[in-house]
């Protein structure tokens, strides 16, 4: 069963390094800092001054996976020095180990350069964790989202919500409804609605429009 998932763009406010990730913990989305190895090491070294941008919240698995892969490839997050990602974000369980890992048998795009994200670390078969399963594999994640725990998203009845799209500083976010957008951008629903209807220019710092609106 697919759980509602938020796609996030983390930006380190001191160094400018970015990290693209996902989380299913929608009640803690503004406090989630990501779990990538390079990204966590970067935060440990340069501090925890990080801004979180929400690219979108998805309730459909296929739409979420498609959006995550499209963003990963559009911004070339694996090879680009601006991003801390080592593999493309697939919005699901993360990269698998062993020969199922998308980078298995391939050199890191920046290996051998002075700016490599893996400088000073062993890669491939020289890595002490090569071929070994994650120590967390198979363990149950007890941190279920309180916002959605125990109830399913309604499929019918009532007024059908309008999907909305917001833009800010070149980043586009998408939500299934005005309420979702207002909740996770920390602004009022009326601000988003007025922006969509042309009564004001921005809501919560974003320029909004209904999906499909010209």
pLDDT for residue 172:
84
pLDDT digits (tens, 9 = 90+) for 129-163: 777 777 766 665 555 444 445 555 555 455 677 88
Structure tokens at 51: 């801004």
Q: What is the CA radius of gyration of the chain?
A: 19
Structure tokens at 60: 């459909």
Whether pLDDT at 4 is above 60: yes
Domains along the chain with CATH numbers: 5-126 (3.40.1440.10), 164-210 (no CATH)
* Sheet of 207-210, strands arranged across: 18-23, 5-12, 50-58, 171-175, 164-168, 207-210
Higher confidence at residue 18 or residue 173?
Answer: 18
Whether pLDDT at 61 is above 60: yes
pLDDT digits (tens, 9 = 90+) for 183-210: 888 888 888 989 988 898 888 888 989 9
* Residue among 173, 44, 42 nearest 117 (CA): 42
pLDDT for residue 170:
82
């Amino acid at each position: 069963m697919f759980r509602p998932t938020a796609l996030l763009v983390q930006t380190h406010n001191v160094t400018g390094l970015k990290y693209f990730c996902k989380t299913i913990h929608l009640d803690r989305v503004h406090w989630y800092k990501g779990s990538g190895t390079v990204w966590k090491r970067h935060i440990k070294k340069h501090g925890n001054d990080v801004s979180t941008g929400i690219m979108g919240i998805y309730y459909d698995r296929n739409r979420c996976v498609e959006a995550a892969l499209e963003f990963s490839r559009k911004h070339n997050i694996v090879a680009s020095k601006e991003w801390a990602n080592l593999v493309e974000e697939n919005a699901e369980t993360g990269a698998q180990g062993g020969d199922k890992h998308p980078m298995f048998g391939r050199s890191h795009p920046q290996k051998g350069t002075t700016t490599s994200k893996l400088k000073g670390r062993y890669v491939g078969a020289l890595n002490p964790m090569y071929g070994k399963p994650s120590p967390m594999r198979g363990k149950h994640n007890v941190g279920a989202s309180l916002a959605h725990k125990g109830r399913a998203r309604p499929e019918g009845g009532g007024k059908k919500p309008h999907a909305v799209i917001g833009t800010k500083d070149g980043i586009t976010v998408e939500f299934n409804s005005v309420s979702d957008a207002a909740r996770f951008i920390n602004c009022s629903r009326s601000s988003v609605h007025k922006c969509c209807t042309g009564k004001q220019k921005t809501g919560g710092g974003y320029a909004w429009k209904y999906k499909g609106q010209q």
